[in-house]
Amino acid sequence: MTKKLFLLLLILGLGFVGGFLGAKLASPQGDIELLREDLDSLTDHVAAVKRAIASLEGLPDEMSSLKEAVASLEGEVARLKEERVEAAPAAPATPGTSIKIAYVDLDALLDEIFAPRTSAQEAYSSRLDDLRQAYQEEKIDKETYTEELVKLEVEGLRMQVDWSLSLLRKLKASFGEIADVLDELSRKLKPLEEDVAKLEEQAAAGVKEEDLQAFFQQYQQLQLVFQQLEQLLTQTLSSMLAKLAGEVAKEEGIALVVQRKDVLFVDPDQVIDLAEKVKARAPEFFGS
The 3 state secondary structure assigned to the chain is CHHHHHHHHHHHHCCCCCCCCHHHHCCHHHHHHHHHHHHHHHHHHHHHHHHHHHCCCCCCCCHHHHHHHHHHHHHHHHHHHHCCCCCCCCCCCCCCCCCCEEEECHHHHHHHHHHHHHHHHHHHHHHHHHHHHHHHCCCCCHHHHHHHHHHHHHHHHHHHHHHHHHHHHHHHHHCHHHHHHHHHHHHHHHHHHHHHHHHHHHHHHCCCHHHHHHHHHHHHHHHHHHHHHHHHHHHHHHHHHHHHHHHHHHHCCCCEEEEHHHCCCCCCCCCEECHHHHHHCCHHHHCC
Q: At what angle do helices 212-251 and 106-136 cross, to 10 degrees?
A: 160
257: phi then psi, degrees, rounded to nearest 5: -125, 130
- Contact indicator for 207, 150 with CB cutoff of 8 Å: yes
Per-residue pLDDT of the chain (288 residues; tens, 9 = 90+): 434 433 443 444 433 333 333 333 333 344 444 445 545 555 555 555 455 445 444 445 555 555 555 455 455 445 444 543 332 333 344 544 578 999 999 999 999 999 999 999 999 999 999 999 999 999 999 999 999 999 999 999 999 999 999 999 999 998 988 889 999 999 999 999 999 999 999 999 999 989 999 999 999 999 999 999 999 999 999 999 999 999 999 999 999 999 888 888 888 888 899 999 999 999 999 975
Structural domain count of the chain: 1
Cα→Cα distances 18→14, 34, 65, 198, 216, Å: 12, 12, 34, 43, 41
DSSP bridge pairs for 256: 101
DSSP bridge pairs for 258: 103
Q: Among 8, 7, 15, 66, which residue's Cα sits nearest to residue 239?
A: 15
Q: Among 34, 48, 44, 47, which residue's Cα sits nearest to residue 6?
A: 34
Q: Give the pLDDT of residue 264.
A: 85
Range of the domain at 71: 2-286
pTM of the model: 0.66
Q: What is the end-to-end Cα distance of the chain in Å, rounded?
A: 32
- Contact indicator for 243, 171 with CB cutoff of 8 Å: no
